[in-house]
Structure 1
Amino acid sequence: MTTPELESFAARWEEFGRLERLVNHWWWRPGWAVGRSIYTWHLTFDDATAAPMHDLVARLHDGLAGMEGLDLIPQQWLHLTMQGLGFTDEVSDDDVDAITRAAGKRLAEVPQFDLTLGPIQADDEATGLLVRPWTAVAAVRDSTRKAIADVWDEVPENPEFHPHVSIAYSNADVPTGPVRERVTPLRDLEPVTIPITAAQLIRLNRDNQMYEWDVVADVPLGTTHSPRELVPGTPLRDVEPLVRVCAALGLELENPAADWPGYGKVVRLQGDRSIYINRTNADVRASAREVAAWHEGGLGAARPDNERYLRVMLDGT
């Protein structure tokens, strides 16, 4: 079982294996200068809910400590880059206020979600974490872009988007071999999952060879849907958590028109697989190899009592 995120993760590692030298990330991009800041939308990770991520990054930083060519990013400056707005000396306060209000309305329609971070990955300018699911992160970015379009005729930056969280930036033109040797064993560290409940508009600078900021606005996402009781006899194709889990794992119902038998009752899937929908989770029965791949991909947890079962937590039905 693979996903676009894991396919990209594998491809990027192969590409890094062919790369001979790092590139200094800190070259001055057009418009940037000491003392100049930019308004940009990010996801930031500076509250208690991000503790699992901070613990993982601390372990990774320990493994990368003293590495020539890398600037380790302090925990307070970890971020997921979303959507730039413009240099602060080029964007009026009125526009900032209007875009923030528009974003408040747009982001209220985007559900809160769980973000999985890890394993570690690397490229020529940064070492960072794979993030999943891309679709949920992209929904936040798309909403910030729509909010900008509500105020301005043109939205800055390319609509194409590759979400990532960097934990270290390359600071010199040095060989990649030593970095690859350090990173390789760290790829075995388990990913972590944290809740994402808001997006931040920040005022960011890079004066000290690090991205640093203050928060201009913290805009909440919408809440998850309230759980509702599912009714036995509902066609399987209309049982939302069942359809959602199958879509996430790439599975197909054996008979979508059949009646749902109720909580904890078996539902047959194609390929000699099955699924049980419970009130707070789903149990998927498949081959041990598939379950291990899903677990590794952060799509659920292999049950310790049976390697052929994957447990998927539900965020509301």
Structure 2
Amino acid sequence: MGTSYSSTFPTRPPTDPDDPASVARNDQAAFEQVDQMLCHWDRAHRRSYHWMVTLDKQSHAVELSQRCQAALPEHGLDLIPPESLHLTVRRFGYVDQVPASTLDAAVTTVSEHCRAARPFDLRLLPLAGSPGALRFSVAPWSPLLCLHRAVSAASGYDDVDPLTQYRPHVGIAYSNQVQPPGPFIAAAHKARSLPSTAITITELRLVELDRTDHQYRWHVLERLPIDAA
């Protein structure tokens, strides 16, 4: 059976979502079983609202992404530039389907959650991937799962277990064609000799996201500080 594209990759969550080693092993083992890289851009796209953590100002994340990108094959990938590094929490909805009043109400609800939460640390671990991308593993998951539950509830999906559909990660390159995975699996394995890096998350953003010229671009609509004393 050929590889199919799914936003839930790996299919199974790690044994311990808060243990960096467990998360990395799970991601790496799943990536090494991929039998074909797909074109990330073949997926249908519509302008949409997303809750995300942007990483363009996180110098350690930018530095690690560039070191890993330098180890990747020269062809077959679209590298993600520093200004586009991000960690998606959840898509809120499509722009043409979400009324302004619904958006405003969700922002109010999620803002209250963020004000009551505390900043948290994440570790970015090189390197694994999916059928459509190369990416960092991320741990611990607990604070991200908590954010996912909050934004899901604000969208009316408060009965969703995030572990059934959410796999936190930070992409550094997208596959731009259907191609054999071997060179990318080998490059990811080599990049694991690089040290992981830690970042501190102090803000959640709501963005309006679009896709042009093999890049994602967004306009920040709301910045919600995570700032409980």
Instruction: Work out the percentage of aligned pairs sharing the same amino acid.
Output: 29
Letter in 1 for 2:146: A
**Of residues 35, 38, 41 in structure 1, which corresponds to 2:51?**
41
Residues 68 and 126, structure 2, Cα contact 8 Å, conserved in 1: no
| Pairing of 1:241-280 with structure 2 (within 5 A) | none
Greater relative contact order, per chain length (Cα 8 Å cut-off, separation 6+): 2
Distance 1:142 1:127, change over 3 A: same
Q: Which moved more, 1:196-205 or 1:103-112?
A: 103-112
Pairing 1:15–2:20 present: no
* Structure 1 gap segments, 5+ residues each: 226-317
Matched residue, 1:63? 71
Distance 1:10 1:184, change over 3 A: same
Distance 1:207 1:158, change over 3 A: farther
Distance 1:192 1:162, change over 3 A: same
Distance 1:102 1:15, change over 3 A: closer
* Structure 2 gap segments, 5+ residues each: 1-14
Deviation at 1:90, TM superposition (A): 1.4
Deviation at 1:162, TM superposition (A): 1.1
Matched residue, 1:141? 148
Distance 1:91 1:206, change over 3 A: same
Residues 24 and 125, structure 2, Cα contact 8 Å, conserved in 1: no
Residues 149 and 158, structure 2, Cα contact 8 Å, conserved in 1: no
TM-score, scaled relative to structure 2: 0.84
Deviation at 1:13, TM superposition (A): 2.0
Deviation at 1:165, TM superposition (A): 0.7
In structure 1, C-alpha distance between the alignment counterparts of 2:160 and 2:179, rounded to whole Å? 30
Matched residue, 1:80? 87
**Of residues 170, 173, 176 in structure 1, which corresponds to 2:181?**
176
Letter in 2 for 1:220: P
In structure 2, C-alpha distance between the alignment counterparts of 1:187 and 1:43, rounded to whole Å? 24
Aligned length: 211
Deviation at 1:65, TM superposition (A): 5.3
**Of residues 189, 193, 198 in structure 1, which corresponds to 2:198?**
193
User: Could you say which structure has the larger radius of gyration?
Assistant: 1
Matched residue, 1:107? 114
Letter in 1 for 2:201: I
Pairing 1:54–2:62 present: yes
In structure 2, C-alpha distance between the alignment counterparts of 1:180 and 1:28, rounded to whole Å? 22
In structure 2, C-alpha distance between the alignment counterparts of 1:87 and 1:94, rounded to whole Å? 14
1:263-294: CA deviation from partner (whole Å, max 9, x where unpaired): xxxxxxxxxxxxxxxxxxxxxxxxxxxxxxxx
4+ aligned runs moved over 4 Å, structure 1: 154-158
**Of residues 111, 124, 128 in structure 2, which corresponds to 1:121?**
128
In structure 2, C-alpha distance between the alignment counterparts of 1:167 and 1:157, rounded to whole Å? 28
Residues 133 and 173, structure 2, Cα contact 8 Å, conserved in 1: yes
